[in-house]
A and B are shown apart, each in its own frame.
Chain A
Amino acid sequence: MNVKIHINWYLQRFTNGQMVVETAGQNVGECLENLEVQFPGIKEELCVGQGELDGPYQIYIKSTNLYTTKLAKPVKENDELAIQFIGGGG
């Protein structure tokens, strides 16, 4: 499945400033694997643990949060994903 991923400003240093990138995969995890091939280092920054993100990021599919099904969530053709950065300070 081909998808678009909206890249948070903080991660655009990995995508050469691109705000939206295209990649492919059957589920979110595969899309992130392919994103890493295109933009080395981004997966480590995202802190992809065992089937879920454990760093300061959230992933949304069509503006709806992913966390209920983690990275195994299947994607559909032309889905749009967004990676958001979580500010944890006060």
Chain B
Amino acid sequence: MKLIERNEGYMLTEDDLIRYGRQILYPSFGQEGQEKLKRSHVVVAGLGGLGTSASIYLACAGIGHITLVDCDRVELPNLNRQILYCEEDIGEKKPFSAARKLAKLNPSIKITPLFERVTEDNVRDIIGGAHVVIDGMDNFETRFILNSACVAEKIPFIHGGVYGLFGEITTIIPGKTPCLACIYPAAPEKKLKPLPIFGVTPALIAILQVTEAIKLLAGFGNLLTNRMLYINGEGMEFTIADLTKKPECNICGGSKLQ
């Protein structure tokens, strides 16, 4: 995991102190925490229900650089949950539509929109230099590509997934926690399509993903590592299960390397 170092060029401005004043008041965060967010680079991979909600709160929190990557254009069925888009955006490339809204929300941060499909060939270029990658993908094939690259680059990967009113989240720290390939030895999506979804489910998971990102980047609190939080919105049950490394994971080396 890359350490976020102090850099005078990223000192907070007077506007920053006003804009972020209410979160700076939080005792274990403070100005130092805000400066760390300002120096941070977060990649949001996928700009659907998870990614749009996550990117709003990342921008509001003052993450200094946000990369937005998706290969789709806005469609009408997206609008029940992908809350950065409006009807007038239909047909537009998602990363550019999202970046335009986020720039209005917080003009003081850098936003890099990438209209690309994440592949094994380009993934390291996309996530290189990032401090955190937020999983906003809608399929496990691409999640596994991101997971492998995050393990190789030692970048924390905050996994989230949703279905209907169900969701799950865990924070993966390469070298310290099980990776996604440990947790899901096979892509578990045979029965997931067509995928029903309410807007509130990805919003809930995304907000937890950003909570994890803020704590991780600013260096306070306890992370949801080595644990999976399952959310059942229909039964309103929240369950945490312990995760362990797969002994011979071919991506992270599993527990045999520890």
Contact = CB atoms under 8 A, between A and B. Distances in A.
B186 A89 contact: no
B152 interface: no
A66 to B, nearest CB: 10
A10 B235 CA distance: 10
Most chain B CB inside 10 Å of its own CB: which residue of A65, A86, A87, A90:
A90
A57 interface: yes
Contacts of B239: 82, 84
A54 B188 contact: yes
A13 B163 CA distance: 17
A54 B160 contact: no
A62 to B, nearest CB: 9
A21 B234 CA distance: 20
B137 A47 contact: no
Interface residues of B, number: 49
Contacts of A82: 239, 241
A55 B190 contact: yes
B51 A84 contact: no
Contacts of A26: none
Given A89-B138, A89-B197, A90-B138, A65 B242 contact: yes
Given A55-B188, A56-B190, A64-B244, 17 more contacts: A9-B235, A52-B185, A52-B186, A56-B189, A67-B246, A68-B245, A82-B241, A84-B168, A85-B166, A86-B161, A86-B168, A88-B163, A89-B161, A90-B135, A90-B137, A90-B161, A90-B162
